[in-house]
Amino acid sequence: MDSLRHQRFALVGHDVGMWTGYALAADHPDRLDRLVVAEAAIPGLSPSPPLFGGQEANDHLWHFAFNPLTDVNEQLVSGREQLYFGLQFATKSAKPLPDNAVQHYVDTLAADPEALRSGFEFYRALDTTIAQNQKRRTRRLSLPVLAIGGAENMGTSVGETMKLGADDVESLVLPECGDYPAEEAPEAMLTALTAFLAPYRDR
């Protein structure tokens, strides 16, 4: 953002982008005017899920144990990106995502081994991220935050998570939506973003 000459800006982060958005807002409060986050828990801020849960929890969270593995996960997924990521898209959405969108994401991850490795690195850094976020949570965010959850996935827990670290949180739950609000509920997502970001845009 420095190279683009944007001293202050608004940020929207989905899934692990929510982790990044929270970190940026906490570490650089002078840079962000508004923050929108969607569909994730934040390691070190959210309560940790139980290690042993029911089948539904396992179906949704098993990748948190698989993704941080060293090398073997890349070997298992490489050449099978459609199987691995296709399953993620299929099981975490409330309705099927457009085939062309899924194919675009899968092709992007399959095009370069570094893309696959980089995706797993978020999870390999979880211990460090948790420790960092435990320190960050002592510095509460004061900027306006919009927390978006899909009713069929994270729901109200996105807002509940952000209230653990921020004072000005607006929570929005999108009906008939899972983990992918931009793809599953694009009009509702765009309407929410437009309204929330309007005061920043009009500055």
Give the C-alpha distances (Å, rounded to integers) separating 181 from 48, 155, 188.
23, 11, 8
C-alpha 167, offset from chain centre: 20
Specify the pLDDT at position 54.
76
Entry pTM: 0.92
CB 165 within 8 A of CB 25: no
Domain ranges within the chain, ordered by starting residue: 48-144
pLDDT of res. 48: 82
Identify any residues that bridge with 172 across adjacent strands, giving them in sequence order: 148
The pLDDT, as a whole number, for residue 53 is 67
d(CA 14, CA 181): 9
- CB under 8 Å to 111, separation ≥6 — which residues? none
> How many CA within 13 A on the CB side of residue 73?
19
120: amino acid identity, one letter: F
- Mean pLDDT per 10-residue segment, the chain (203 residues): 93 96 97 96 88 74 90 93 93 92 94 93 95 96 98 96 97 97 96 91 62
The most distant pair of C-alpha atoms in the chain lies apart, rounded to whole Å, by 49
Interior angle at CA 200, CA 157 and CA 19, nearest 5: 35
Tell me which residue of 166, 159, 161 sits closest to 138, measured CA to CA: 166
| Pair 56, 152: CB distance under 8 Å | no
What is the pLDDT at residue 201? 66
- By CB atoms closer than 10 A (0-12, 13-18, 19+), residue 63 is middle
| Nearest Cα to Cα of residue 115 among 90, 156, 76, 81 | 81
Segments of 6-59 assigned E as strands: 9-14, 32-38
What is the C-alpha to C-alpha distance for residues 97 and 184, in angstroms, rounded to an integer? 7
What's the pLDDT at 202? 61
